[in-house]
Structures are given as structure tokens and as C-alpha cells.
Chain A
């Protein structure tokens, strides 16, 4: 493991999130590496300051705490709404309501997270009697089971309720018009850990963005995806619709908020190419881009505004 990787672990160490073996390995390394020891001391000092701030929370009036938790719940709600269109559990076989798992979080976090939980879709409970034996065997042979938990266990009747997730290998082919194909691609877009998968999904969806749900998926990818490559590809897929109101709004949002100058440039080029030079639109474009730190964007806007009068 490199020093950089050890230093990455210092944060987890201070939050007591390292396994015993990883902690031992890190402590041994810190003992022998002055550079990492320095990084540890610095990180520890910062952690102490932040910890003091957290202690200060004990003194906060309870109503303020409730307000803060509500704000946190709103934040969770907002994140959930951003994802809502692709959070469809159609391809994840779950034994019992996901709501059960989320309820555990609810207990831990208090009233505020109820908002988040209420947005989840319930998953029907399968029982040994209502699931065919063949499908159960197939599930256990081919699927990968994770996060399995015992929800209920009755020693008298021997009844056990389990909750978890099963993922299975999948190969599927069909046309883009097919709901299953589209839902699979939407599912790929929710793969937070795999930007390559999201990029491929956006590329395929961009080929036929005529369907409203696909257009919405591309807009979501453009506005919310963490990966700049995915956002850029989504923008390219939407370019020819830049004169439509909701696509134009998404491009304006990108122009005002995207961190990547290249994407903002692509957004303004598309907006200017696909919209008439009417003064009202030119004014809103000028408003959106007048403080942009990119000179090209500012000059393009001035040019557009100048020729629209």
C-alpha cells in the first residue's frame, strides 16, 4: 500500500471505521513513516476541531435540532426525487419490503428521515408457499445474495423472515421501444460506482431520444450525473431538442451551474444554434452567462445579444 493510500485511511481510522487488521497495519506504517505521521497529526488536529463542534450540538435547543434534522430530511428528499425516475427495483429480486431496512435507518435518525422512507416503493414479501420451487433453486444457484438480514424469527413456529438483495447474471436483447430494454438502461444509469456503465447507457439512449422518458433520463444525467463525460454525452444527445422548453431550461441550468467549462460551452453553442435571436431569450442568456469565468462564453453571449437587437 502506498503512502497516499495510507493517508486515505487516516480519516476512516479517526472515525473508527477501519477493520482491526487495517488499523494495525496503518498504526505500524505511521510508526515508520514520518510523512504519514505528519499527515496523521494534521488530520487528527482537524478531527479534534470538528469533534468539538459536534459536542457543541449538545447545547443546541431541541427545536433548532428538529429544524436541522428537517433540513437534512429535505436534502435527502431532494436527492431521492432526483433519482426517483430510475429507482425501479424491477431487476433486483428482494425478499421482503425494502421499507424494513429503511425503517432501521429511520429509528437511528429519528423523525426526519420519514420523508425519505415514504418515497420508497414497497417490495412484496415472497414466501416459501407462493414462490415456485424451481425459481427458488434458480435464485439460489445463480444469484448473488447480499445484505441478508433476519427480520423476524419465531422459535415456536420455526417461521423466519429474511430481507436482503439478490442479483443475478443478465443477458437481454430487444428494441429500444421495449420497456424492459429502456428500464435496463435506466437501471445502468443508477450505477453510482460505474461511470463507464452510465456513459454507455447514455450513448445508447441518445440514439433514440424521441421517447419522453428517455429525454427525461438524459436531462437527469445532464443535470445530476457526477461524471463530466456522462453529462457531456447526455448534452450531445439532447442538442437537437435545444429549442424545446424543458431541454432549453436544462441547458440554461447547465450553463449556470456546471463546473466544467467545456460542457458550458457546448450548452451555450447548442442554445444559440437552436433558438431564434429574440431579445427576451438573448436577455435571459446574457443574465445566465454574464458572470461566467470563461471568456469564450462571455464573448459568445455578447455576440448573440448584439445580433439579436
Chain B
């Protein structure tokens, strides 16, 4: 890691990655870390997370798509975000 580059965990609170090119580049690196973190999720956790986070589907709909319930989808989303946080704060 570059000595001047902040640790990922220190930048989690920052919300303006794309305000300038340098931040945008760093944002891209963060995006890559997120993609790595997504690989640590189970198949269903990742499915629920991607449908909710990137596709914007409601958990009720996701539950129906999975042939399950909204409650189950909620649990998978919760577990997914916990795992992502654990992974990303340790990077």
C-alpha cells in the first residue's frame, strides 16, 4: 500500500469518491475491493445483496424470486452486509 494512501477502513466514512479524478481512481480501487469482498459471500447472500443493492429490487420481490419469504431475504441481506463489513474493514 502507498504510504500516503489512507487505509480503506479510514475512508469508509468518506462519501465523495467521484468528486475529482484522484478520488475517482481510488473509488475504483474500493470497487475492486468490494468485488473481492463479494466473493466471500455464499451464493444466496450474494444473490440477495446484488439484487437489492445493485438492481434495487425490494426484499419482498427477491424473496418471491428465490421461492422463499421476505424474512429469509432480510436475513441473507443482513448476513451479506455483515460479511462485507468484516472483510472491508480488515483490508
Contacts and interface: CB of A to CB of B under 8 A. Distances in A.
Interface of A: 8, 11-12, 15, 17, 42-43, 45-50, 52-57, 72, 75-76, 78-79, 83, 87, 101-102, 104-105, 108-109, 113, 116, 147, 190, 192-193
A52 B71 CA distance: 26
Contacts of A72: 47, 50-51
Interface in B34-76: 34, 43-44, 46-47, 50-55, 57-59, 61, 64-69, 71-72, 74
B74 A116 contact: no
Q: How large is the interface on B (under 10, 10 to 19, 20 to 34, 35 or more residues)?
A: 35 or more
B88 A52 contact: no
Nearest to A83: B67
A87 B67 contact: yes
A54 B88 contact: no
B84 A50 contact: yes
Contact of B54 (A43, A48, A49, A54): A54
A79 B44 contact: yes
Contact of A102 (B17, B44, B65): B65
Given A48-B15, A105-B64, A54 B53 contact: yes
A147 B64 contact: yes
Contact of B68 (A17, A46, A192): A192
Contacts of A105: 57, 61, 64-65
Given A17-B77, A56-B18, A76-B47, 20 more contacts: A8-B78, A11-B77, A12-B74, A15-B52, A17-B59, A42-B12, A43-B85, A46-B12, A46-B84, A48-B13, A48-B15, A49-B15, A52-B17, A52-B27, A52-B30, A53-B30, A56-B27, A56-B31, A108-B57, A192-B72
Contacts, number: 101
A193 B72 contact: yes
Contact of A12 (B55, B65, B72, B77): B77
23 contacts: A12-B74, A15-B77, A17-B77, A46-B81, A48-B13, A49-B14, A49-B30, A50-B53, A53-B34, A56-B31, A57-B54, A72-B47, A75-B46, A76-B47, A79-B66, A101-B64, A102-B65, A105-B65, A109-B55, A116-B65, A147-B64, A193-B69, A193-B71
From A15, A17, A50, A101, name the one whose CB has the most chain B CB atoms within 10 angstroms: A50
A49 B65 contact: no
A71 to B, nearest CB: 10
Interface of B: 11-15, 17-18, 27-28, 30-31, 34, 43-44, 46-47, 50-55, 57-59, 61, 64-69, 71-72, 74, 77-78, 81, 84-85, 88-89
B43 A17 contact: no
A73 to B, nearest CB: 11
A59 B47 CA distance: 22
Contacts of A108: 55, 57, 61
A17 B84 CA distance: 19
A83 B68 CA distance: 12
Given A52-B17, A72-B50, A105-B61, A11 B34 contact: no
Q: Which 9 A-B pairs have the closest CB atoms?
A: A45-B12, A45-B13, A48-B15, A53-B31, A11-B81, A46-B85, A52-B17, A105-B65, A53-B34
Nearest to A105: B65
A154 B37 CA distance: 50
From A46, A55, A78, A190, name the one whose CB has the most chain B CB atoms within 10 angstroms: A46
